[in-house]
C-alpha cells in the first residue's frame, strides 16, 4: 500500500514514536508499504522552527532532513497541478499545510496517515485516511 504522512506523524516517528498507535506503527514499519512525506511537511517544519514554535530535539531543520534521508520515508514530489488545483478542496480545514497535504493525497489516490481529527471531515471528498483516532 502507499501512504503519505502528515507533519505530526512524521515528527512523532522520529521524536515520540510512543505517541503513534500500534496500527500506525505497524503500517510504518511494514516493508511492503511505501511511505511518503511531502515537501509541504518540510516547509511547515522550517517555518515553525524559524518562529520558535517547534523544536527538533536539538537538530536544525537541515539536520532533521539528513536524518529523514537516511530513513525509510520517501519524498513525494508535489506536482504543480496539485498546487494550482488545491482551491477545489472544500474549506473544512484552514491550515494551509494540512490542506495541501490533504489535496495531494486525494489527487494522487494515496492514503493519508494523520494525527489531526479535523482531516476526517474530508472522507466524503475522496480522502482515504488512517487516523490516530480511529481503529483500523
Q: Could you give the domains of the chain?
A: 2-127 (3.40.50.1010)
Give residues with Cβ within 8 angstroms of 71, minimum separation 6: 13, 14
Q: Please check the confidence at residue 117 and state whether its pLDDT lies above 90.
A: no
Q: What percent of the chain has pLDDT over 90?
A: 90
Whether residue 8 contacts residue 115, with contact meaning beta carbons closer than 8 Å, is answered with yes
- Name the DSSP letter for residue 2: E
Please say whether the beta carbons of 51 and 73 come within 8 A.
no
pLDDT given for residue 132 in this prediction: 78
Q: What is the mean pLDDT of residues 75-79?
A: 95
Phi-psi domain of 63 (left: phi exceeds 0; alpha: psi -120 through 50; beta: other): alpha
Report residue 43's pLDDT band, with 50, 70 and 90 as the boundaries: very high
pTM of the predicted structure, to 2 decimals:
0.93
d(CA 37, CA 59): 19
Amino acid at each position: 500500500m502507499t501512504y503519505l504522512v502528515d507533519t505530526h506523524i512524521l515528527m512523532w516517528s522520529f521524536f515520540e514514536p510512543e505517541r503513534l498507535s500500534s496500527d500506525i506503527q505497524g503500517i510504518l514499519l511494514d516493508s511492503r508499504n511505501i511511505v511518503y512525506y511531502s515537501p509541504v511537511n518540510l516547509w511547515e517544519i522550517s517555518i515553525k522552527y524559524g518562529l520558535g514554535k517547534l523544536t527538533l530535539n536539538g537538530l536544525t531543520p537541515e539536520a532533521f532532513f539528513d536524518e529523514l534521508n537516511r530513513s525509510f520515508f520517501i519524498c513525494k514530489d508535489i506536482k504543480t497541478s496539485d498546487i494550482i488545483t488545491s482551491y477545489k478542496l472544500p474549506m473544512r480545514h484552514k491550515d494551509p499545510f494540512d490542506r495541501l497535504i490533504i489535496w495531494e493525497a486525494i489527487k494522487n489516490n494515496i492514503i493519508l496517515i494523520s494525527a489531526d481529527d479535523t482531516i476526517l471531515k474530508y472522507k466524503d471528498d475522496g480522502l482515504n485516511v488512517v487516523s490516530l483516532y480511529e481503529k483500523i
